[in-house]
Structure formats: C-alpha cells, structure tokens
Amino acid sequence: MQAACRFFDTLDRRRIAAVSLLLPSHAMNVSVEDIEKDPHAYLHRVLEGETVVVFEKDQPVAEMRPLSKRAGKRPMGLAKGDFVVPDDFDDPLPEDVLQLFEGE
C-alpha cells in the first residue's frame, strides 16, 4: 500500500513540475482553499507585483497578476481617417430597429 501511495505521490509531483514549466517563473502557486482563507494577503502580493497562480486539484485554474501600467492618456485622433461618423449618428433609431432591441 505504501509503495502505491509513493508512486502516485511521485506522479503528482511530476505532473505539477510539468505544469509549472508553462507558468511564469516568478509565480506563487496557491490552492483555492488558501485564497478563500485570506484573499487580501494574496491581493496584496499581486499589488506588490507578484503573480499568483491558483490551483484546484493540482491543476492551474486562474492567474492573478498586476495589470500593465499605461504610458499615459491616449492621444486624440488615433483613428482619424479610418471611418466617418454619419450625420444622423445621434438620431433616434427607427421603430422597427427599436422593436428588435426590445424583443417585440
């Protein structure tokens, strides 16, 4: 019985090792249960720049990571010339189109 347990334990470690090759090297791996116990602690780690990978039954199910920071406001006119806004853009929709939206 102990040999069988050791075999499956080794198998699980190999599976986790194989999966971890696909994950960021700086990621912290935690279980769903760990997240449920103290979500604020893991959110704080993400806010500090760390990636947290959530596992359920030895399978990665989610990744929490910091959002990339924007360089600033986007400049106006990025799509200038790509399309033209029609003059009637703000006009009320025709009755038949309104009915389609309302499911009538």
Six-digit token pair at 38? Answer: 């103290």
Q: Which bin fits 48, alpha (ψ -120 to 50), beta or left (φ > 0)?
A: alpha
Q: Residue 41 and residue 22: Cα distance in Å, rounded?
A: 25
pLDDT at 9 > cutoff 60? no
pLDDT digits (tens, 9 = 90+) for 22-54: 555 568 899 999 999 999 999 999 999 899 999
pLDDT band at 55 (very low <50, low <70, confident <90, very high): very high
With CA atoms as reference, report the closest residue to 64 among 72, 53, 55.
53
pTM above 0.75, yes or no: no
3-class DSSP assignment, residue 56? strand
For residue range 57-85, list pLDDT tens digits in order: 989 999 999 888 777 787 888 888 888 88
